[in-house]
Amino acid sequence: MAEHGAVVLRVCRAVLGPADADDAWSETFLAALRAYPELPEGANVEAWLVTIAHRKAIDEVRATRRRPTPTEELPEQPTEPAAPDAELWAALAALPTVQRQAVAYHYLAGLPYAQVAGIVGNNETAARRAAADGMKKLRTVYGKEADQ
Binding site for other proteins (CB under 8 A): 1-2, 5-6, 9-10, 13-14, 22, 25-26, 29-30, 33-34, 36-37, 39, 84-85, 87-89, 103, 107-108, 135, 138-139, 142-144, 146-147
Residue among 14 and 119 whose Cβ is closer to other proteins: 14
Residue 37: CB minimum distance to other proteins, A: 7
**Residues contacting 10, CB < 8 A, separation 6+:** 104, 108, 109
Asked if 87 contacts 142 with a C-beta cutoff of 8 angstroms, the reply is yes
Nearest-approach distance from CB 55 to other proteins, in angstroms = 18
Alpha carbon distance 2, 12 (integer Å): 16
Q: Residue 94: helix, strand or coil by DSSP?
A: coil
Q: How far is the CB of 36 from other proteins (least distance, A)?
A: 5
Distance of alpha carbon 103 from alpha carbon 124, whole angstroms = 13
